[in-house]
Structure 1
Amino acid sequence: MANTLHDPKNVLIDRAERQMDDHFADSDLTTRQKLALTCRIAYDGGHDSGLAGQISARGQQPGTYYTQRLGLGFDEITEDNLLLVDEDLQVLEGEGMPNPANRFHTWIYRARPDVHCIVHTHALHTAALAMLEVPLLVSQMDTTPLYDDCAFLREWPGVPVGNEEGEIISGALGDKRAILLAHHGQLVTGATVEEACNLALLIERAARLQLLAMSAGTIQPLDPARAREAHDWTSTHRRNQANFAYYARRALRNHPDCLTDKVNL
């Protein structure tokens, strides 16, 4: 006999969140492992654009972060070939050089102590949407983690290898978790690697949905209150962990060389 069919929505939400706390534990993966997996997940998710784009995560020491070596594609990144760099992009661990465009990551990390991972790519649909100089429109339930959480930089400041581009991009991002960069691509941030990885896949899907919807008619807006509720419901730490674990398992089936040792996910 059912006992919950007359429970209000807030009670059901609270119950589900407690159950997720019981069933999804914190990951034993290292930052290097999570970042390498994110590179492979992004590659499989359509974020490949040659050597363009950077994925980074804070290191253990202040003012340091891990990122990929210039010359390697996302599908070639392993936990062992990642670099640890300082805010001047000087290599502290690893061989090779980082992408000079990583400089604007430094500006974001300095401006946003809450950010621990950045995923910047030139994925096909976000790059196509960026060519139109229109903001990302969130109007579908699956994409609500980005509702009122994606900024828009309308003017392209040029290749982001100077400090001025770092100031412009970090300033335009503000307190949002994501930003669409006109004539450029997308950037998402996360308090964890898992969160940033999930948002990177989601913003590319949202851009694809938007382009499809724009080709068919006029996009209708979501009810703001319901959209904010969905944003919060789909943006929890445990949900990010569960999503990332699924993407990581799939990536390891496609790219078993990504990690040195076998892990449980």
Structure 2
Amino acid sequence: MLLNDLRTQVAHYARKMYESQLVRATQGNLSARDPESGLICITPSGADYQLLTAEDIAVVDERGNIIEGRWKPSVEMPLHTYILSQRRDINCVMHTHALYTSAFGVVYQPLPMILQESASCLGGEVPIVPYQESGTQAFAELVAQTLGDGPAVIWGNHGAMVVGVNLALTFSIAHALEDTARIYCLARQLGTPVPLPAEEVARLHANWKQGYGQTAIDTPLTAS
């Protein structure tokens, strides 16, 4: 099977997304690019995350042509292929429907940096992508424009997206995003959250990139 190891990794992290409530039912999607071939492994459309195996993961090229797979790729494939074509510094795209993060997209409030750990990997206020029907090239370009060279964006009236060098780091960034959103909401009930100074966020992020952000190796998994 083509790219068996990477497809196993994608299925594994897709299940972890479900287990950690970053997605529910068949929401969200995940992709990872093989740096050597440039091919992209992506979750299938309407997948049951709990049952996903390597064989369920589709393989496409950067133009979205299906190379191998028994199921149709995610309807968000145009987004994944476009983001990966624009960002050669990353290899993974994860679209989530985490509750607290999604709430920020409903009120169109960018997420400030209030936690040291999250500021390290997120690197600054997380912007909101204006609402537009997803699954189209136009939406992919809008997301890419809003994302810039950052690691995360929140989609207006929809969900969120994070990107990273590998699957493990991308999963960690998605949790940092949701943790920040949740703690901000809790803190608002106690008082006024105090964001970290911009210069401190920049320093933390620079240190994180040197120590973790450029790590390009995932721990091998046994095939599922």
What residue identity is the alignment partner of 1:91?
I
- CA distance in structure 1 between the aligned counterparts of 2:212 and 2:101, rounded to whole angstroms: 27
Matched, 1:132 2:107: yes
Give how far 1:177 is off.
Answer: 1.1
Report the structure number with the largest CA radius of gyration. Answer: 1
Q: Which runs of 4+ in 1 moved over 4 A?
A: 235-241
Matched, 1:152 2:152: no
Distance verdict in 2 for CA 1:131–1:43, change over 3 Å? same
Distance verdict in 2 for CA 1:234–1:41, change over 3 Å? farther
Distance verdict in 2 for CA 1:132–1:138, change over 3 Å? same
What residue identity is the alignment partner of 1:127?
S
Partner SS, residue 20 of structure 2: helix
The count of aligned residue pairs is 217
Partner SS, residue 207 of structure 1: helix
- CA distance in structure 2 between the aligned counterparts of 1:237 and 1:103, rounded to whole angstroms: 32
1:87-115 Cα deviation digits (max 9, x unpaired)? 44332112010122221112111211112
Give how far 1:67 is off.
Answer: 0.7
1:41-86 Cα deviation digits (max 9, x unpaired)? 2112211222121100113423x31011123133222223211012
- CA distance in structure 2 between the aligned counterparts of 1:237 and 1:195, rounded to whole angstroms: 12
Q: Which residue of 2 aligns with 1:193?
A: 167
Aligned counterpart for 2:5 among listed residues 20, 27, 30: 30
Q: CA contact under 8 A between 2:169 and 2:213: conserved in structure 1?
A: no
Partner SS, residue 45 of structure 2: coil
1:177-216 Cα deviation digits (max 9, x unpaired)? 1111121111111122222111112111111112112233
Instruction: Give runs of aligned pairs for residues 151-170 of structure 1, distance below 5 A.
Output: 151-153=127-129, 155-158=130-133, 160-170=134-144
Q: CA contact under 8 A between 2:112 and 2:125: conserved in structure 1?
A: no
TM-score where L is the length of structure 2: 0.85
Distance verdict in 2 for CA 1:83–1:149, change over 3 Å? farther
Q: Which residue of 1 aligns with 2:181?
A: 207
- CA distance in structure 1 between the aligned counterparts of 2:165 and 2:223, rounded to whole angstroms: 25
Q: Which residue of 2 aligns with 1:20?
A: none
Q: Which residue of 2 aligns with 1:260?
A: 223
Give how far 1:174 is off.
Answer: 0.7
Q: CA contact under 8 A between 1:149 and 1:177: conserved in structure 2?
A: no
Q: CA contact under 8 A between 2:90 and 2:164: conserved in structure 1?
A: yes
Which sections of structure 1, spanning at least 5 residues, go unmatched?
Answer: 1-28, 249-257
Aligned counterpart for 1:78 among listed residues 43, 53, 62: 53
- CA distance in structure 1 between the aligned counterparts of 2:214 and 2:11, rounded to whole angstroms: 17
Partner SS, residue 92 of structure 1: strand
Distance verdict in 2 for CA 1:85–1:237, change over 3 Å? farther
Q: Which residue of 1 aligns with 2:92?
A: 117
- CA distance in structure 2 between the aligned counterparts of 1:215 and 1:107, rounded to whole angstroms: 39
- CA distance in structure 2 between the aligned counterparts of 1:84 and 1:149, rounded to whole angstroms: 33
Distance verdict in 2 for CA 1:238–1:129, change over 3 Å? closer
- CA distance in structure 2 between the aligned counterparts of 1:149 and 1:132, rounded to whole angstroms: 15
